[in-house]
Amino acid sequence: MPMKKVVILDRDGVINVDSDAFIKSPEEWVALPGALEAIARLNQAGYRVAIATNQSGIGRGLFDMDALNAMHLKMHRMAAAVGARIDAVFFCPHTAEDHCECRKPKPGLLKMIAERFEIDPAHTPTVGDSLRDLQAGAALGHPTHLVLTGKGRKTLASGGLPEGTIVHDDLRAFALDFLANVHE
């Protein structure tokens, strides 16, 4: 059986502009330049794209499921407009105080993605802008990729990245670098 080709992306700071005040509405959800086109490029190379995102704003009462669904609808529509497809969005609505298994840096969301798509973590890159994104991926043996958008520059400066993490300027650079180095 051929191996399933999947790339796992964080959302805020990787695909869209991030904010310390949280992204709480479709109006605040703004795609980063080239990010949706990067997803289209991955799709064209045969990769499915899954998102793993902490959305503690729900648990904090800053926005509700209707607002999150509206943000994701906007994201899917904007992606489709440039020929991109996001196959699934997995999110954790909890706060750190909930001590759940799905909030990154714990790998619960990535375990769910692995089960849904029947993937081998060793061949499934995970891309994020924060240390917790990378820690969640490294915990299951995913190749980890840091983008310097969102919190990425601060994350890089803080150090402590999982061994083997590859650094890219943004999602577009990740897609170009990753696809140039993939060996079937």
Query: DSSP 3-state assignment of 48?
Result: strand
For residues 77 and 73, give the distance between their C-alpha atoms in angstroms, rounded to a whole number: 6
CB 149 within 8 A of CB 14: yes
Structure tokens at 121: 């973590």
- Catalytic residue chosen out of the listed positions 10, 18, 129, 170: 10
CA 85 to chain centre: 14
Read off the amino acid at residue 115.
E
Alpha-carbon distance 94 to 73, whole Å? 21
- Asked whether 150 and 129 are in contact (CB, 8 A), the reply is yes
12 counts as catalytic: yes
Bridging pattern class, strands 126-128 and 88-92: unpaired
From 12, 129, 133, 170, active-site residue: 12
Please report the DSSP string for 88-120 in residue order. EEEEE---GGG--SSSTTSSHHHHHHHHHHT--
Report the catalytic residues.
10, 12
